[in-house]
């Protein structure tokens, strides 16, 4: 993707997995409306004028939810039971022309076995976006969970990230190949530089990532934890605009300078630790606000992120929470609610993770 100034974030409401009154099969409908990229799945030249909605036309090629080989009975967890609680996940169009579901599942701190179960369960509910990383040491579990789910690979948006010790061109190639092997796939939808390092060698890694895109093994490349000056350094060295910048954001830490620089560059903002790792869930302002809206605090906060256009992937290994978080896709906040949540920003004091300017090669 060549630099051509700021890109608008295009969003469209799409249907997720779940029974539908029009007789279409749930996951097939999702595929038809949400995850088909706006250009060829084989990595062909992107459509110069990407469309934001793929018409829901047959033939439908995905397996219906009812046939998903899940460790859990899928009937228990069908989204949209009786057409009442239909889950709607917005798709955001990246600057590469591909669509990313705005709500997914994070996997940080999951063991491989937890990742396997959680990913399979989330996919059985209708999640179609999974975020992992080499650093999490659970890519095998994520791959196994995808396989267990029976959801076709092409219907899932899968992200992994380059670990800090792997910033050398040959290491990027070797470890990326290992990631594919562990994930049980021949491509990833998104590959990110996990952290910019003090040594500043992310530019060399980026060039290898561009090669991997050209080889069809990665659909979109992006960055994570990039401050405005890292984005500027990358822009000076490459014409490829990152598809996303994945940064810490939650009600206590808005990370405003990084958000502004990311959006100005034409990249989509992904918010990591959207629940501040659970810290916001007992907040004295959020608790009554959520109750008044008739949702949980987690749903309120996730809806706040999505209202701002951010992509989120809350992590949980608990089925009821995975389900609860997914239902946030149905929550729409009004301007007063958004303003009340905005007021909770503590600036730098709200940051829970490391400052990107302090990250060493080893972690």
> Phi-psi bin for 219: left (phi > 0), alpha (psi -120 to 50), beta?
alpha
Residue 226 CB, nearest approach to ligand NAP (Å): 10
CB-nearer residue toward ligand NAP: 29 or 121 = 121
The distance from CA 331 to its chain's CA centroid, rounded to whole angstroms, is 18
Q: Which stretch binds ligand NAP (CB under 6 A): 87-95, 106-114, 210-218, 303-311?
A: 106-114
- x-or-dash pattern for ligand NAP, window 192-231, by CB under 6 A? --x-----------------------------xx------
Beta carbons of 223 and 193 less than 8 angstroms apart: yes
Distance CA 304, CA 300 (A): 6
Which residue stretches of 150-285 are H helix? 169-183, 202-214, 228-237, 256-265
Distance CA 222, CA 134 (A): 15
Q: Which residues contact 349 (CB under 8 A, 6 or more apart)?
A: none
CA dihedral over 257, 260, 264, 265, signed as positive or negative: positive
CB-nearer residue toward ligand NAP: 233 or 324 = 324
CB-nearer residue toward ligand NAP: 39 or 161 = 161
Beta carbons of 158 and 188 less than 8 angstroms apart: yes
Name the nearest CA neighbour of 230 among 62, 73, 356, 87: 356
CA dihedral over 50, 56, 62, 67, signed as positive or negative: positive
Q: Which of 69, 215, 318, 355 binds ligand NAP (CB under 6 A)?
A: 318
Q: Which of 277, 293, 308, 351 binds ligand NAP (CB under 6 A)?
A: 277
Measure the CA angle with vertex 328, ends 250 and 193; round to 5°. Answer: 45
Name the nearest CA neighbour of 164 among 191, 197, 192: 197
Residue 25 CB, nearest approach to ligand NAP (Å): 29
Rg (CA), the chain: 19
Q: Which of 191, 313, 329, 333 binds ligand NAP (CB under 6 A)?
A: 313
Q: Which of 99, 158, 325, 340 binds ligand NAP (CB under 6 A)?
A: 325
Residue 108 CB, nearest approach to ligand NAP (Å): 3
Contact status: 24 vs ligand NAP (CB under 6 A): no
Residue 217 CB, nearest approach to ligand NAP (Å): 21
Name the DSSP letter for residue 309: T
Q: Which stretch binds ligand NAP (CB under 6 A): 144-152, 232-240, 274-282, 337-345?
A: 274-282
- x-or-dash pattern for ligand NAP, window 125-154, by CB under 6 A? ------x-----------------------
Query: Which residue minimizes CB distance to ligand NAP?
Result: 106
CB-nearer residue toward ligand NAP: 33 or 325 = 325
Beta carbons of 91 and 329 less than 8 angstroms apart: no
Q: Which run of H or of E encompasses 322?
A: helix 319-326
Residue 53 CB, nearest approach to ligand NAP (Å): 28
Residue 136 appears among annotated catalytic residues: yes
Structure tokens at 104: 């997914």
Identify the active-site residue in 30, 121, 136, 187. Answer: 136
Q: Which stretch binds ligand NAP (CB under 6 A): 85-93, 147-155, 214-222, 312-320?
A: 312-320
Residues taking part in catalysis: 136
Residues that bind ligand NAP (CB under 6 A): 106-108, 131, 194, 224-225, 246, 272-278, 281, 298, 313-318, 321, 324-325, 353
């Amino acid at each position: 993707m060549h630099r051509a100034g700021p890109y608008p974030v295009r969003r469209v409401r799409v249907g997720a997995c779940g029974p539908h009154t029009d007789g279409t099969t749930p996951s097939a409908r999702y595929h038809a409306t949400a995850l088909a990229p706006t250009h060829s799945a084989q990595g062909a030249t992107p459509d110069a004028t990407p469309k934001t909605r793929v018409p829901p036309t047959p033939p439908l090629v995905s397996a219906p939810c009812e046939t998903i080989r899940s460790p859990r009975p899928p009937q228990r967890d069908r989204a949209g039971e009786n057409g009442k609680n239909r889950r709607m996940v917005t798709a955001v169009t990246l600057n590469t022309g591909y669509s990313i579901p705005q709500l997914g599942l994070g996997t940080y701190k999951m063991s491989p076995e937890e990742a396997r179960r959680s990913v399979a369960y989330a996919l059985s509910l209708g999640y179609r976006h999974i975020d992992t990383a080499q650093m999490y040491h659970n890519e095998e579990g994520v791959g196994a969970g995808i396989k267990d789910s029976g959801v076709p690979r092409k219907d899932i948006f899968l992200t992994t990230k380059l670990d800090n010790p792997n910033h050398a061109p040959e290491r990027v190639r070797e470890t990326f190949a290992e990631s594919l092997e562990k994930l049980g796939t021949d491509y990833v939808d998104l590959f990110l530089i996990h952290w910019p390092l003090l040594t500043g060698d992310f530019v060399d890694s980026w060039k290898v990532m561009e090669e991997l895109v050209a080889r069809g093994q990665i659909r979109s490349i992006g960055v994570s934890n990039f401050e405005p000056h890292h984005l500027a350094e990358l822009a000076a060295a490459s014409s490829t605009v990152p598809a996303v910048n994945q940064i810490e954001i939650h009600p206590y830490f808005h990370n405003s300078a990084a958000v502004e620089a990311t959006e100005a560059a034409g990249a989509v903002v992904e918010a990591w630790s959207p629940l501040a790792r659970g810290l916001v869930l007992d907040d004295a302002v959020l608790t009554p606000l959520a109750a008044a809206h008739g949702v949980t605090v987690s749903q309120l906060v996730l809806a706040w992120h999505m209202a701002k256009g951010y992509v989120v992937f809350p992590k949980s290994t608990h089925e009821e929470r995975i389900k609860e978080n997914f239902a946030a896709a149905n929550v729409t906040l009004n301007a007063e609610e958004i303003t009340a949540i905005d007021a909770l920003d503590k600036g730098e004091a709200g940051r829970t993770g490391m400052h990107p300017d302090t990250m060493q090669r080893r972690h």
